[in-house]
């Protein structure tokens, strides 16, 4: 897309090895490591050269012998890490820019100019000399087009050159045969040759212009992720990032970029959590981190979970075998029309023309026109630009897909099931009310509840211990503590009383009558609060109410889903009244309440059995059961952790970005289908009418190029509306 709303926002970083490409050791120009003209070994390290001149002019650096590390006491500060090697320039560096794109634009311009000149000469009449001049000009234009396809590097998303050149070659060759043999359709063939060749050149130019943003985005990703990393160990020698392997440990100092997905094993740091992130977050041992993150403060040691083309930000943007703009379902379907199906469709139109009584020459012209309309329209290219732009837009928000199949699955989601606690809600409830019942004191009940919460990391237990500490209440020491499914505890206090703490449903399961507490419970739940009961010897002793704030971005997340036609479903373990109050606050109509964590996978399977495509948004490991049962699992804050079971992983914990990922995937698919229709509808209509003899065959390529232009224009408009970083 012309303005690359997402790709252009990815942050630039020092250049380095890119894929299988490395910098020339002398001049820095990028060369293919597998096909470098010259390779030499210096000091145990391979050096690559772009020419024999650079090899002969290379002066190896004088390396000082390594010094044995001096022993230091545990309290002594760590020595500074050595600086990483400077990276070489990229091809888009003005000093080393390749001339191929300029030459390609020149050849395409010559081709279009020649075709226009041939059409202009048609106005001068049909004299043999003019026909010969037109044929020569058409042949030169075709030669320029063939040379451009032969010299320019082919993108993985391009249709095969044979499919694109078939119609121009057949039309120009047919015109040459007709000129030599004196055949009657010479004028029609000359006109068709000029039109199909010019349309093919114009389509190629327009498509490459729209792809510039994706190319720039890929170069930024490769540049940022293709530097040098420092293996953890005694030597600490820098190595190319592409040589890292899962299971190794690397050290990342302040100001450096993380070059592999991994988990923090040592150190605490403040990082920009993904490539181009405008926010910072803390990372500590055990936290996942994704390649492209930048250390702002501190130092980290990481255990590599993915490297090379398997890195989260690299897979769908740069790897030719997994790029979304090449292998997405809609893109592959669109490419079928440009390559294998185009000749068959052209043949079908010829059969229609034969049935309509057209002459053989007219049938040939019609088939060539239809082939040109389908092949040169850029249908697959325009859909690929849209799909790639969507992936880059989400990458700028910290979203990565496991595979292109995950992107396709996300684009078909109809139901998004979102966990309430820790996802839509902040996950940090506060104790806002303690009401003693009967002769039981509220502080004594809180001491019992805080004692039952000791040793648990559940958010409600953390709120209980925090509230007791704030109020100066010592937790009661309990024995025989048994934790119940869902949220609940039974135990015995120092006086031998049987204590039960939990939700109303849990206490009813323990044969505790809750009738006396019902008025307070209903009042608290109507306000959207979570209610916990404390029972002593089978009788309610206190009602504890907790308030959990709605997470920032939760309302925007639900709005994104509703706008995309995805039904949000709230799932929580709280009472129905509490969950429905949260649902009303967020405009969620469908609520599943009082569902324990271990039962939520069954709820997901219930939806899938009805034919819905279900996405689950949650956090690992707490929501792993529901995530595993979903058609599309969206894991918050899991990018880089090595979890291969999640369809979408986010570097952040923002539920808004998770919902946005589903909405953008769905919209990209819908808009891609619209683009396919914009291209194929005029081509099909023109081909059918030409086969019936209602319009001249030259209308077919013109209809195809107009449809392609309309599709690219819509792609550009849609691209500008993709989410900003």
**What average pLDDT does the segment 621-649 reach?**
86
Distance of alpha carbon 526 from alpha carbon 531, whole angstroms: 11
CA–chain centroid gap for 128, Å, is 58
Q: What is the model's pLDDT at position 235?
A: 57
* Residue closest to 280 by CA, chosen among 256, 299, 296: 296
Q: For 43-80, write each residue's pLDDT tens digit.
A: 456 677 777 767 666 655 544 333 333 343 444 444 44
Quick one: pLDDT at residue 165? 85
DSSP string, 556-599: HHHHHHHHTTPEEEEE-SS-HHHHHHHHHHHT--EEE-S--GGG
pLDDT at 45: 63
- Strand pairing of 21-23 and 632-636? unpaired
Using CA atoms, how far apart are residues 21 and 241, in angstroms rounded to an integer? 12
Among left, alpha and beta (phi > 0; psi -120 to 50; other), residue 231 is beta
The C-alpha atoms of residue 647 and residue 402 are separated, in whole angstroms, by 5
Q: Is the peptide bond before 621 cis (omega within 30 degrees of 0)?
A: yes
- How far is 685 from 702, CA to CA, in rounded Å? 12
* pLDDT exceeds 60 at position 424: yes
Contact by Cβ (8 Å): 627, 641: no
Residue that the structure tokens 């234009």 belong to: 141
* Contact of 41 with 428, CB cutoff 8 Å: no
CA distance 385 to 458: 45
Q: Which two tokens stand for residue 55?
A: 């090899």
pLDDT for res 643: 58
pLDDT at 617 over 90: yes
Structure tokens at 473: 């209440």
How far is it, in rounded angstroms, from Cα 584 to Cα 637? 27
Cβ neighbours for 591, distance < 8 A, ≥ 6 positions apart:
569, 570, 572, 576, 579, 580, 582, 583
Residue 16 has pLDDT above 50, yes or no: no
Give yes or no for residue 416 having a pLDDT over 90: yes
Q: Which of 2-6, 147-151, 341-345 has the highest mean pLDDT?
A: 147-151
Q: Where do the structural domains in the chain lie, given as residue ranges? A: 430-547
What gap in Å lies between CA 695 and CA 437, rounded to an integer?
Answer: 89
CA distance linking residue 311 with residue 323, whole number of Å: 13
* pLDDT on residue 661: 92
> Average pLDDT, stretch 136-141?
91
The Cα–Cα gap between 403 and 405 comes to: 5
Class of domain 430-547: alpha beta
pLDDT at 632 over 70: yes
User: Is a pLDDT exceeding 60 seen at residue 289?
Assistant: yes
Contact 671, 334 (CB under 8 A): no
**What residues have CB less than 8 Å from 609, skipping those under 6 apart?**
none
User: Residue holding tokens 């070659």?
Assistant: 169
Residue with tokens 């055990």: 286
The mean pLDDT value for 195-215 works out to: 86
Kindly report which listed range (312-316, 502-506, 564-568, 648-652) carries the lowest average pLDDT score: 502-506
Helices then strands, each counted (H, E), the chain: 23, 26
pLDDT at 627 over 80: yes
Per residue in 712-721, pLDDT tens?
888 888 877 7
Cα 42–chain centre separation:
40
355 C-beta neighbours (distance < 10 Å), count? 10
Q: What is the pLDDT of residue 405?
A: 93
**Mean pLDDT across 275-287:** 90
- Which 3 state secondary structure label does DSSP give 128? helix
Closest CA to 665 of 483, 420, 401: 401
**pLDDT tens digits, one per residue of 354-380:** 787 777 777 788 888 887 877 766 677
672-677, long-range: CB < 8 A, 24+ apart: 672/328, 672/330, 672/331, 672/334, 672/383, 672/386, 672/387, 673/330, 674/714, 675/379, 675/382, 675/383, 675/386, 675/711, 675/714, 675/715, 676/330, 676/333, 676/334, 676/379, 676/383, 676/711
Pairwise CA distance, residues 613 & 627, whole Å? 13
Place of tokens 């699992």: 633
Give the largest Cα separation in the chain, rounded.
Answer: 117
Task: Assign 474 to helix, strand or coil.
Answer: coil
Structure tokens at 6: 């997402």
Least confident of 93-107, 185-199, 576-590, 600-614: 93-107
Per-residue burial over 112-133, b if 16 or more Cβ lie within 10 Å, else e, is bbbbebbbebeeeeeeeebbee
**Whole-model pTM over 0.85:** no
| pLDDT for res 664 | 92
Number of Cα atoms under 13 Å in the Cβ half of residue 261: 25
């Amino acid at each position: 897309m012309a303005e690359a709303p997402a790709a252009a926002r990815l942050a630039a970083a020092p250049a380095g090895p890119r894929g299988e490409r490395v910098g020339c050791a002398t001049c820095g120009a990028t060369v293919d490591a597998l096909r470098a003209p010259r390779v030499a070994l210096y000091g145990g390290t391979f050096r690559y050269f772009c020419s024999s001149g650079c090899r002969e002019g290379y002066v190896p650096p004088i390396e000082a012998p390594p010094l044995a590390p001096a022993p230091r006491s545990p309290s002594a500060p760590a020595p500074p890490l050595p600086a990483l090697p400077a990276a070489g320039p990229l091809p888009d560096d003005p000093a080393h820019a390749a001339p191929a794109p300029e030459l390609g634009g020149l050849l395409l311009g010559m081709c279009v100019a020649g075709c226009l000149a041939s059409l202009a000469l048609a106005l001068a009449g049909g004299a043999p000399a003019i026909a010969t001049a037109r044929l020569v000009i058409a042949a030169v234009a075709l030669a320029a087009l063939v040379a451009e396809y032969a010299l320019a590097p082919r993108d993985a998303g391009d249709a095969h050159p044979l499919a694109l050149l078939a119609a121009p070659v057949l039309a120009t060759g047919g015109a040459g045969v007709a000129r030599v043999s004196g055949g009657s359709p010479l004028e029609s063939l000359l006109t068709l040759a000029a039109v199909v060749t010019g349309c093919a050149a114009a389509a190629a130019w327009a498509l490459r212009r729209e792809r510039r943003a994706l190319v720039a985005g890929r170069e930024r990703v490769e540049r940022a992720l293709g530097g040098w990393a420092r293996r953890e160990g005694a030597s600490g020698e820098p190595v190319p990032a592409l040589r890292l392997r899962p299971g190794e440990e690397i050290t990342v100092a302040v100001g450096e970029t993380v070059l592999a997905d991994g988990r923090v094993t040592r150190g605490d740091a403040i990082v920009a959590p993904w490539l181009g992130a405008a926010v910072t977050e803390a990372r500590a041992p055990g936290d996942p981190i994704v390649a492209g993150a930048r250390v702002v403060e501190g130092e980290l040691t990481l255990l590599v979970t993915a490297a090379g083309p398997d890195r989260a930000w690299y897979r769908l943007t740069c790897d030719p075998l997994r790029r979304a703009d090449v292998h997405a379902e809609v893109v592959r379907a669109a490419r079928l029309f440009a390559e294998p199906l185009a000749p068959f469709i052209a043949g079908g139109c010829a059969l229609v023309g034969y049935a309509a009584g057209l002459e053989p020459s007219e049938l040939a012209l019609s088939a060539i026109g239809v082939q040109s309309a389908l092949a040169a329209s850029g249908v697959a290219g325009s859909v690929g630009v849209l799909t790639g732009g969507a992936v880059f837009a989400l990458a700028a928000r910290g979203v990565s897909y496991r595979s292109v199949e995950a992107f396709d699955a996300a684009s078909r989601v109809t139901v998004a099931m979102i966990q309430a606690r820790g996802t839509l809600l902040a996950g940090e409830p506060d104790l806002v009310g303690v009401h003693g019942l009967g002769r039981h004191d509220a502080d004594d009940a809180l001491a019992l509840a805080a004692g039952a919460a000791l040793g648990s990391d559940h958010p409600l237990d953390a709120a209980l211990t925090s509230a007791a500490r704030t109020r100066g209440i010592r937790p009661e020491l309990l024995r025989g503590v048994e934790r119940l499914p869902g949220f609940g505890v039974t135990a015995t206090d120092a006086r031998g009383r049987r204590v039960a703490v939990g939700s109303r449903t849990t206490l009813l399961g323990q044969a505790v009558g809750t009738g006396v507490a019902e008025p307070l419970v209903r009042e608290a739940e109507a306000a959207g609060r979570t209610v916990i009961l404390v029972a002593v010897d089978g009788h309610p002793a206190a009602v504890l109410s907790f308030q959990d704030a709605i997470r920032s971005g939760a309302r925007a997340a639900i709005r994104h889903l509703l706008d995309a036609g995805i039904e949000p479903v709230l799932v929580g373990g709280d009472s129905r009244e509490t969950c429905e109050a949260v649902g009303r606050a967020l405009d969620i109509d469908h609520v599943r309440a009082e569902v324990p964590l271990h039962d939520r996978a069954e709820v997901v399977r219930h939806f899938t059995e009805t034919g819905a495509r279900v996405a689950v948004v949650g956090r690992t490991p707490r929501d792993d059961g529901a995530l595993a049962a979903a058609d599309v699992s969206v894991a918050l804050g899991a990018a880089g952790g090595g979890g291969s079971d999640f369809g979408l992983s986010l570097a952040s914990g923002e539920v808004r970005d998770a919902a946005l990922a589903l909405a953008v995937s769905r919209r990209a698919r819908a808009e891609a289908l619209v683009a396919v229709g914009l291209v194929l509808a005029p081509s099909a209509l023109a081909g059918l009418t030409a086969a019936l003899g209602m319009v001249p065959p030259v209308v077919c390529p013109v209809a195809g190029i107009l449809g392609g232009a309309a599709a690219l224009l819509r792609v550009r408009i849609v691209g500008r509306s993709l989410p900003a970083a």
